[in-house]
Structure 1
Amino acid sequence: MVNTASLADKVIELLSDKVDSNYRIAVLIVGPPGSGKSTISEEICEEVNARFQAYLSENQVKVHLQDTRESSVDICEGIPFASSSIEKITESEVFSHVEDEGYVPHKYNSKDGATIVVGRGGLPNSIQVKHEKVKVPNDSAVRIAQIVPMDGFHLSRKCLDHFKNPLIAHQRRGSPQTFDSNNYLQLCKLLAETCEIKPHFSPSKSSSNVFDKLCASFSDAVPSIYVPGFDHSLKDPSKYQHCINAFTRVLVLEGLYLLLDVENWREIYPIMKSTDAIIICNIDIDEKVIEQRVARRHVISGLAQSLEEGLERFRANDLLNARLIKKKQLRPMTLLP
């Protein structure tokens, strides 16, 4: 079992080490299907946020947002512009390169001033970057740690319909090639850039406490990044479901393929490592344990009508993915085995 309280200690320790140089730090939670990545990620965020809230309450510290938009950084600067407007994106255009793992994401300007970044999955997997005046929530609602899920980058079922072998694409949904890995990698590049933004501290009493320093350096120069989620009722991604805004100082990225040594996935770790502000939790777990967990999950979600059908689905797809990440995984130094 992963000791999330101990992991939260490590997160806050890294945050303290980097608070003067990095606006954000990142935590990568990696493991096979059924290993508990989502649960661990939620618990880490809850623990870090609870400690921050307790500090605010006990010390009567107030949260505010600096108006430093004149020093805003264009994190999308290196992304090429599309040759047409976003209104002219057609499904046929997207489907023509849906299996192109080398496709370069393009950016579009929207009418409200946001930048939309679109990869091979089209608009359902797009990212929105917006410089906006973020409303300061009540101190009790400020969350500094946030999960950035990978699920929203599942290619839509319409995209899978246009694979060379759509039957296999649907059967193997959740395997590496059925994600918009192009745009997920682009998201990681954007997040890494925000990690490396140097914080600006407002005049305040001198303090060495990490939470005091966070409160003195929340800045709307850092853009909001909206990423897709996954709607399980629709069985497809939902645009801009999650917002990473200026109050997010700990990014918790969770997913199967964050250390996978194939195509776009292999570039994620080096990009995040380059920020020098990263922790990795690599979960290793017995196949028999995840078999039962995932099979039951398939029944609960309606993907299987019985436990036996759930087990068959696990062995035909999830198990293959689990063995792939074990066989072809980058081997960085990890916090946990």
Structure 2
Amino acid sequence: MEAEVDRLARKTLDDLAAKGPGYRYLVGISGVPGSGKTTLGASVAARINEFESSQDVDSNVIAHAIPMDGFHHSRAHLAAMPNAQEAIHRRGAAFTFDAEGFVDLVKRLRGHPNETVFAPSFDHALKDPVADSIAIPPTARIVFIEGNYIALNRAPWTEAAAIMDRLWYVNTPADVAVARLAKRHLASGIVADEKEAWERASGTDGMNADDIRANLLPVDEKIEG
């Protein structure tokens, strides 16, 4: 994986250089829950910043990685939906996200490369998003945006995908992703025991994974997870 991170980092830097000064380069990283999207985005961003640091450039931190998690609808919003019971049970499915808000973020990142753009985060203790809590400064010339539905072939997600310079997909075997999720659910305390953790990872999360795999847009890179 180290070699793959190096390759992706160097390719992204080459692509940015070809765009010329003042350009903000956007990479969308998609994959099923538990695929390793967050790790990949953070790793490639860190490697790019290491490369830049070695060149003694004025601003070493040019690459940032941000999650799509902050666009979860709040619990209050889900409870007010016409299909509230289903929405609460299926939290994490595409329809339980603020897709329009996500499209707006990508448009702002593209349209305002010389301004600080703010994105929401997700507070796992509160189990709700926190508005404008992630700052993407003008020095962020490369932004990796990771999330389950970034390459989903369904409106309005496709509108955001069309703005990205590159789309990557982390191609992780289903059994590996489910095992990671079960471990994560148990560690976070959102389930009572290991049995419930596996049921959630293979149930609701599995339904979301099926949707992602069945409705994946063409991507520029498929990275083995």
Is the TM value for this pair above 0.5? yes
Superposition CA RMSD, Å: 1.6
Q: Which of residues 143, 148, 151 is equivalent to 2:66?
A: 148
Q: Which residue of 2 aligns with 1:27?
A: 27
Q: Which residue of 1 aligns with 2:221?
A: 335
Mapped partners of 1:262, 1:237: distance in 2? 23
Deviations 1:118-173 (Å, cap 9, x if unpaired)? xxxxxxxxxxxxxxxxxxxxx6xx41101121111100001011111222111110
Q: Is the 8 A contact 1:152 1:230 kept in 2?
A: yes
- Kindly state the Cα deviation for residue 48 of structure 1 after the two structures are TM-superposed: 0.6
- Kindly state the Cα deviation for residue 236 of structure 1 after the two structures are TM-superposed: 0.5
Alignment gaps of 5+ in structure 1? 64-138, 196-221, 273-277
Identity across matched positions, percent: 33
Q: Which residue of 2 aligns with 1:264?
A: 156
Deviations 1:255-308 (Å, cap 9, x if unpaired)? 111111122112122122xxxxx2322111211111100011001111112221
Matching residue's letter, 1:16: A
Matching residue's letter, 2:93: S
Instruction: Map 1:32-47 to 2 at 5 A.
Output: 32-47=32-47
Matching residue's letter, 1:15: L
Deviations 1:4-53 (Å, cap 9, x if unpaired)? 11111111111121134x52111121110111000011101110111111
Q: Which residue of 1 aligns with 2:186?
A: 299
Q: Which residue of 2 aligns with 1:110?
A: none
Mapped partners of 2:51, 2:186: distance in 1? 36
TM-score of the two chains, using structure 1 as the length reference: 0.63
TM-score of the two chains, using structure 2 as the length reference: 0.93
Q: Is the 8 A contact 2:30 2:149 kept in 1?
A: yes
Instruction: Detail structure 1 runs of 4+ shifted over 2 Å in the superposition.
Output: none
Mapped partners of 1:262, 1:281: distance in 2? 17
Matched, 1:315 2:202: yes
Which structure dedicates a bigger proportion of its chain to helix? 2
Structure whose alpha-carbon radius of gyration is higher = 1
Mapped partners of 2:77, 2:167: distance in 1? 32
Deviations 1:75-128 (Å, cap 9, x if unpaired)? xxxxxxxxxxxxxxxxxxxxxxxxxxxxxxxxxxxxxxxxxxxxxxxxxxxxxx
Q: Is the 8 A contact 1:29 1:255 kept in 2?
A: yes
The alignment covers a number of residue pairs equal to 222
Q: Is the 8 A contact 2:28 2:151 kept in 1?
A: no
Alignment gaps of 5+ in structure 2? none
Mapped partners of 2:122, 2:28: distance in 1? 19
Q: Which residue of 2 aligns with 1:80?
A: none
Q: Which residue of 1 aligns with 2:175?
A: 288
